[in-house]
Structures are given as structure tokens and as C-alpha cells.
Amino acid sequence: MTQPYELTVAAAADAIAAKELSPVELTESVLQRAAETEGALNAFVTRTPEAARARAIEAEREVMAGRSRGPLHGIPFALKDNIDASGVPTTASSSVWADRVPVHDSAVMDRLTAAGAVLVGKTHMHEFAYGLITPQTRNPWASDRVVGGSSGGSAAAVAVGSAAFALGTDTGGSIRVPASFNGLVGLKPTYGVVSRHGVAPLSWSMDHVGPLTRSARDAALVLQVIAGRDPRDPASVVSPHLHRTGQGCGDLRGMRIGVPANYFFEHVAPQVTDAVRRATDQLVALGATAITVTSPLTAYLVPTLWGHVAPEAAAAHEDHLRRCPDLFSDGLRTLLEAGRMIAADDYLRAQRCRTLIRRAWREMFTTIDVLATPTVATTALLRSQSEIRWSDGFTEDVTDGLLRLTSPANVTGLPALTLPIGEDSSGLPIGMQLIGDRLAEPDLLRMSEIYEEALGNGTDAGLRRRSPLSSAFALERAQGE
């Protein structure tokens, strides 16, 4: 028998609208699921069950009175712990903010509250989002593996059903990496589409806010709520085409898929390569046209990312470094101190390089609609792993290895989505990344929905068949370690 926590956002919204499921019943199911799995996973830093129950009761009253606020009305969700919700601690998983309780909502929390969504808690993350592991949280697919980061707690919560959806942030891949490692859809919107007001900054020119969900349809529903112009975020943009986001019907005729001839399939695990090739072939079978392209200026992508992130993060935490440096973890303090050493002329060179990369990538998108690539070069790594060794002898640091394929979308500011396309021989999820032109979220989501529908992956039955949702999977695996 399907439990309410197993439902996608879309399925739960339909059931609530039809008055076949109450927001209270759904919220209680999700809260119970968290109680069952948290001992094994540690996805949440703060849980808010009583406030969630009160919001669910209010949502139920409104639904029964015919006052629907839309598809997120009564849907339980989680926030990454660098996103403010009034009266709920925001620690960013750091001792620096151990006692911080915001008195105002972030822009995205404002929008979700207005939509009637139900906050169930704040999720663990890599300290101040400066990393791709989230060491506090275990991967529900295999507890000896990293959950990914920095939005790792959000990914784990959605994967097991202790949140119907969650929000994360993405500066170099921090939504897409944990989504890929947990068999989820993760969307990094176009830079500026979702306001970052009330979100702890890491790198103001690279930071994005977006959803982690179990299906592309769910991601579309969440994006329609959280997107929108906000004068409190100076990077905020108008996104007029998002009203057609999530229309995943028909076929892909007329869509041009770029298949990269360079960079994205270099130093990638064979099973990941094979899965992405098969998924691309499926998109072509659904009507799309494959076009081989050369991704431009790839040698400069990761250096350009770090050329922005390191000094901007140091500037964002300048006051903390001066007042309370010992409250940072040793690793983060080292990174921030290193960022302070980057000279202004080097930062300006990085900005010039970024301008050239953006122009070249926008030019590439005049010939294609979507670029299809692996999301991450490998499936979830062992928690004990500090580097990735490839068969040709090439070795890379775990952080660089995990962000190598996701960083292009942060440097360019283009929208990127990861969706699950299968598993490796160990049963670990594999993700495919779709990158689009500026404000092309509708194309990414429509392509993903059509792919899911064709394979049955977007259905609740399909999701339960290949995830930890419908069993004590996470608890059993963690206890077996």
C-alpha cells in the first residue's frame, strides 16, 4: 500500500485538490518518516513538527473551504540551512552561526508560505556551502558513500520521503551533485531567476537557489512558485516564459540536443558514460535531433570558477574572519584565508575570462537547444575517499572531480538540470545533466518530463521501484554498517 510520504508533489497536489488526501494526513506521514529515518541519515539539523502540524491544519481548512493556493498548498518541504525562515535557526552548519535565529523570511520562504507549503525543517549542509560532501549526513542508497553536497541533507530528506521536496543552493554544483548521487531531479535555474535574498552568500556571482525533487514535474511546480523578480536581490531578473514550465507532453520533434565531443566524457566512469549515451539515444528516439558540438574554452572553466568563488567567499566572511576565526572548521578557515590572498588583478582576469566563456557558450546555443552530459563523472564516492584515480593514471581531488562537469553552468549562469537515468552495477544512481540557454528552463523541464513519461520514471510506482522511498532501506543500510 502506498504511503502518503511516497507521493510525488504532483500526485499529492492532485489528491489534495480532489479532497482524497488531507494536508494533515500527508504532513503526519512525512513527519513519521523522518522519525523513522533520521537516526540513520541525520538529514535535518532542525525539525519543526509542531509548526508544520499547525500549518497543515490551516491548509486543510482552506482546502475544505475551497480556497486553494495552488499545487504546493499543504505540501511538506525542507530548506537547506543557509536559507532563512523566520523564527527557525539558520546555522549554515557552522559554529559561527550557532545561535543565529532570523526574524525575517527569505524571499523563497515568503513565496512558499504564500503558496501554502508546509515547512518541516532545515537540512544539513557543508559548512557555509563551501564543499561537496556534507559529512554529517549519510547517503540513503549506501551509507558508506557520500550523500553529496553542499545540499546533501536536502537530497537525503527527499530521497527517503521525510520531505516531499527541498530547496538547496548551487555555487559549483551543490544542488546537482547530491541530486545525482540520490536519484533525484535537481535544478539550478538561470542566474537571477530565483531570488537569493535571505540566503547566506558564498559567492555572490555564482550562487543560485533551486529545488531538489523526485520528478521533473515536481521541479516545474516548485520553480513556478519560487521564481520571480525581487528588487532585494540585485541580480534578480524577470523570467516571463516560466508560465509554460512543465508542459511535458507530446514528443521532442524540433529539439536539438548537443552531444559534446570534448571535456564532458573525459575521465568519466564507463558505466556513467554508457548510461548517458543510452539516455541520449532515448531522447533521439523520442524525436530530438542529436548534434555533435565542441564545448568552448573548457580548460578555463574550473580555474575561472575558483577565481570568483575564493575571493568572493573570503569577502563575504571578512567580518567573521576578523572577529571569530576559531569558530570556523580548520578546512573552511584555510579556504577563506587563501581567498584573501588572491590579488585584485587576478580577480579581474577571472571576470574577463568569464565574459569570454559566456559569449562562447551563448554562441554554441545558437546551434543547439540543450547540451546533454553526465552530471558527475562517477557515482557516489566512498566516505573515506580523498581523491579520484582514473585508469590512465590521472588523479584529482574529490572536490574538483565532483564539480568538474557541473561548474560550467555556474560560470556561464545558464540553467542546468540533473535527472536520474539508471544505476551502476552497485545499485548507485547515475544522473544526466541537461544544460540550456539563458531562461530555457521550460525546455529542460519539458524534455525531462517527456523522458520520464516514456520510461515510466516519473510515476510514483517507478520512483518507489528504484529508490529508498517504500521501505526501511535507509535505516537498514545504515544499521548494517
Lookup result for grid cell 520553480? 223
The DSSP 8-state label assigned to residue 94 in this structure reads S
Q: Are strands 395-397 and 44-47 parallel, antiparallel or unpaired?
A: unpaired
| Residues contacting 104, CB < 8 A, separation 6+ | 84, 86, 198
Please say if 122 is a catalytic residue: no
Please say if 205 is a catalytic residue: no
- List the strands of the sheet with 165-170, edge to edge: 44-47, 118-123, 76-80, 165-170, 208-213, 185-188, 416-423, 429-436, 370-374, 256-260, 289-293
Buried b (16+ CB within 10 A) or exposed e, 87-112: ebbbbbbbebbeeeebeebbbbbbbb
Beta bridge partners of 289: 256
| Cβ 454 vs Cβ 278: under 8 Å | no
**What's phi and psi for 81, nearest 5 deg?**
-80, 25
CA distance 399 to 52: 35
Q: Which of 150, 162, 215, 236 is catalytic?
A: 150
Q: Which of 154, 162, 174, 236 is catalytic?
A: 174
User: Among 281, 439, 437, which Cα is nearest to 366's?
Assistant: 437
Buried b (16+ CB within 10 A) or exposed e, 273-308: bebbeebbebbbebebeeeebebbbbebbbebbbbb
Q: Which of 22, 29, 80, 215 is catalytic?
A: 80
Query: Could you list the active site residues?
Result: 80, 150, 174
